[in-house]
């Protein structure tokens, strides 16, 4: 049948009109994406451009222990009373100029005078006490509360405008260190919900957050300290590492965070120890892993040098403990387990001869993307353990499914497992590692012993050199008599840096990138 022009005119006109209308709508928006203003000016003079792997969920200061939040907020927008030097591990004055322990449970902080918030209000002891109350024991799920304080009770009292007293229910020798995580905000900050755009005392203030696209910080003219070199910072985020690397190469960004070797940033790559240690947590409650010889064999069978060289492309350093150098409690006596397949085979054979069911299948619970080449690393480990005489399978999971295995209570009816994990100690004290990971009741602990609990408990109450020695002793005991882990490597991060900027990354860079440490090149 042939349709006549008359019969076809109406529907055809309708379709054409609709198409024209759609085309007009699209062309109207062709220069900008819906609901967005122009992206912050690219490469504007005296602006440093940073590309992140993800957009900060919020800039809430009490969530500053979250990497995605902390690396923008901490020391840039907000500041704490104290700050830890990531190089030396020493605690430095920040908004508090000095502090003194009056008794085992009481501390006095002398606050810096002449400091202003971005909203021009004055920083004083009232703001400091308010910020501590808002963060500790919070009803707004502050990450810092769980990460740093974990149920510790404390009371902050204003003595005068520049003096603050903090009292703890139990003696806490590292309270000033814990307070380095409490970012100070004005008393006008919400106590019923998290804030996306906080006001702080830092060298930069939020100029514009175009959600989903970019974030711009401007230098705070009223900053109490030395003014940073860059007048502004512009953050964008790209999930794909190769795109972040390409942005450095095409001069769209000055700093690219969280790169991997295969992202191809080339000469612009800067390597740095990223404060993370990869390890396998051994579930020592179930056979055959409940036999220490099997756990020792697992450690002997892993070729750490080979893993670092081939799988991690040289980005890392074989490790023997979760507490790296520079963190209080690190033991220089602990070395990485030497690779000795013959010894591993011998230990497994001995255990088998004594009736240990070494042919029971052990499951490696891995996490995709926990570090570059995570799955490949587990395949290498699996191969080594099979060679040593064990039966091993791998199951790779996404973050939340993996967390079900990381955190107690663990799934029921679980067989023997090795959990692929990574630990970073941002705080610089072994207390933030030992209790939760090695204590028998720790949130991430699959096994512990009363002796180790006692050693950890003693170390937590100690201070100064005694604290260092006590934690090191606990780590050495773990490594020799418990062998709950197979620690693999202290990991290395890669930062992309354009030729326009100089910056020396450090162990804290992943969690806290201080814009004031970035300088124009030349």
Partner 1 sequence: MLTFLRRRIASSALPLVVVILGVFCLARLTGDPGNLYLPLSATPEMRAEFAARHGFDQPLFVQFGDYLTQVFRLDFGESLRTAEPAADAVLRAFPATLQLAGATMILAILGAVVVGSWAAYRPNSVADRVASFTSTTAASMPDFWFAIMGVLVFAVALGWLPTSGTEGAAAWVLPVLTLLIRPFGVLVQVVRGAMVTALSAPYIKVARSKGAGEVRVVFGHALRNAAPPALTVAGDLTVGLVNGAVVVETIFGWPGIGKLMITSILQRDFAVLQAAVLVTAITIFALNIVIDACYALLDSRVRQGVTT
Binding site for partner 1 (CB under 8 A): 1-3, 5, 8, 11-12, 14-15, 19, 22-23, 25-26, 29-36, 38-39, 42, 57-58, 60, 65, 139, 141, 143, 145-147, 150-151, 193-194, 196, 211-213, 236-240, 242-243, 246-247, 249-250, 252, 398-401, 403-404, 406-407, 432, 435-436, 443-444
Residue placing its CB nearer to partner 1 in the complex, 10 or 413: 10
Q: Minimum CB separation from partner 1 for residue 305, in Å? A: 29
Which residue is it, tokens 């964008």? 236
Taking CA atoms, 444 is separated from 364, 405, 407, 435, 480, in Å, by: 16, 9, 5, 9, 20
Q: Minimum CB separation from partner 1 for residue 388, in Å? A: 30
Query: Which helix (H) or strand (E) element contains residue 236?
Result: strand 232-237
Residue placing its CB nearer to partner 1 in the complex, 125 or 236: 236
CB atoms within 10 A of CB 504: 12
The answer to whether 317 touches 492, Cβ cutoff 8 Å, is yes
Residue placing its CB nearer to partner 1 in the complex, 30 or 342: 30
Q: Minimum CB separation from partner 1 for residue 332, in Å? A: 26
Which tokens sit at 253? 């960004």
Q: Minimum CB separation from partner 1 for residue 424, in Å? A: 11
Residue placing its CB nearer to partner 1 in the complex, 134 or 194: 194
Taking CA atoms, 176 is separated from 91, 94, 445, 461, in Å, by: 8, 11, 27, 14
Return left, alpha or beta for 326; rule: phi > 0 is left, psi -120 to 50 is alpha, else beta: left
Q: Minimum CB separation from partner 1 for residue 17, in Å? A: 12
Residue placing its CB nearer to partner 1 in the complex, 384 or 426: 426
Residue placing its CB nearer to partner 1 in the complex, 193 or 520: 193
Q: Minimum CB separation from partner 1 for residue 522, in Å? A: 23
Which segments of 40-140 are extended strands (E)? 47-52, 82-84, 91-93, 96-103, 106-111
The answer to whether 50 touches 232, Cβ cutoff 8 Å, is no
Q: Helix (H, G, I), strand (E, B), or coil: what is residue 492?
A: strand
Among 179, 223, 181, residue whose Cα is nearest residue 201: 223
Q: What is the DSSP letter of 224?
A: S
Q: Minimum CB separation from partner 1 for residue 43, in Å? A: 11
Q: Minimum CB separation from partner 1 for residue 91, in Å? A: 21
The answer to whether 217 touches 171, Cβ cutoff 8 Å, is no
Q: What is the largest CA-CA distance in the chain?
A: 99
Residue placing its CB nearer to partner 1 in the complex, 227 or 407: 407
Residue placing its CB nearer to partner 1 in the complex, 240 or 354: 240
Residue placing its CB nearer to partner 1 in the complex, 79 or 252: 252
Cis peptide before 72 (omega within 30 of 0): no
Q: Minimum CB separation from partner 1 for residue 251, in Å? A: 8
Beta-ladder partners of 209: 215
Which tokens sit at 145? 């509360």
Residue placing its CB nearer to partner 1 in the complex, 208 or 504: 208
Taking CA atoms, 192 is separated from 61, 134, 138, 201, 449, in Å, by: 14, 9, 9, 22, 41
Q: Minimum CB separation from partner 1 for residue 291, in Å? A: 28
Beta-ladder partners of 142: none
């Amino acid at each position: 049948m042939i349709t006549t022009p008359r019969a076809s005119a109406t529907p055809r006109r309708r379709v054409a009109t609709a198409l024209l209308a759609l085309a007009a709508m699209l062309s109207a928006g062709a220069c900008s994406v819906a609901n967005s203003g122009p992206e912050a000016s690219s490469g504007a003079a005296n602006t440093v451009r940073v590309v992140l792997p993800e957009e900060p969920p919020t800039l809430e200061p009490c969530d500053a222990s979250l990497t995605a939040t902390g690396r923008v907020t901490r020391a840039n927008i907000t500041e704490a009373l104290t700050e830890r030097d990531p190089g030396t591990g020493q605690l430095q004055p920040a908004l508090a100029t000095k502090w003194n322990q009056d008794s085992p449970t009481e501390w006095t902080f002398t606050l810096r005078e002449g400091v202003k918030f971005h909203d021009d209000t004055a920083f004083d002891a009232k703001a400091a006490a308010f910020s501590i109350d808002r963060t500790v024991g919070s009803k707004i799920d502050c990450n810092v509360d769980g990460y740093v304080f974990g149920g510790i009770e404390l009371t902050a009292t204003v003595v005068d405008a520049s003096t603050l007293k903090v009292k703890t229910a139990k003696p806490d020798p590292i309270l000033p260190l814990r307070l380095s995580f409490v970012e100070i905000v004005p008393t006008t900050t919400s106590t019923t919900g998290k804030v996306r755009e906080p006001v702080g005392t830092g060298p930069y203030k939020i100029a514009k957050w175009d959600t989903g696209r970019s974030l711009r910080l401007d230098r705070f003219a009223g900053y109490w300290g030395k003014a940073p070199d860059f007048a502004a910072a512009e953050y964008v985020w790209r999930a794909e590492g190769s795109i972040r690397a390409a942005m450095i190469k095409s001069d769209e960004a000055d700093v690219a965070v969280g790169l991997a070797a295969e992202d191809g940033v080339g000469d612009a790559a800067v390597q740095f120890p990223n404060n993370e240690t990869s390890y396998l947590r051994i579930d020592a409650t179930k056979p055959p892993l409940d036999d220490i010889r099997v756990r020792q064999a697992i450690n002997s069978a892993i070729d750490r040098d080979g893993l670092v060289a081939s799988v991690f492309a040289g980005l890392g350093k074989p490790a023997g403990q979760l507490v790296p150098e520079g963190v209080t409690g690190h033991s220089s006596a602990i070395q990485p387990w030497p690779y000795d397949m013959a010894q591993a085979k011998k230990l497994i054979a001995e255990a088998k001869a004594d009736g240990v069911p070494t042919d029971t299948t052990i499951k490696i619970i891995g996490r995709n993307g926990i570090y570059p080449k995570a799955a490949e690393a587990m395949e290498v480990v699996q191969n080594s353990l099979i060679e040593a005489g064990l039966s091993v399978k791998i199951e790779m999971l996404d973050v939340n499914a993996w967390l079900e295995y990381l955190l107690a209570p663990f799934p029921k009816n679980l067989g023997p497992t090795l959990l692929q994990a990574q630990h970073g100690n941002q705080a610089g004290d072994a207390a933030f590692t030992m209790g939760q990971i090695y204590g028998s009741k720790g949130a991430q602990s699959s096994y512990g012993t009363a002796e180790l609990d006692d050693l950890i408990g003693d170390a937590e109450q100690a201070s100064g050199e005694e604290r260092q020695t006590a934690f090191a002793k606990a780590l050495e005991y773990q490594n020799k008599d418990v062998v709950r882990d197979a620690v693999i490597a202290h990991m290395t991060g890669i930062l992309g840096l354009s030729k326009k900027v100089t910056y020396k990354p450090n162990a804290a860079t992943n969690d806290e990138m201080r814009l004031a440490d970035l300088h124009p090149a030349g």
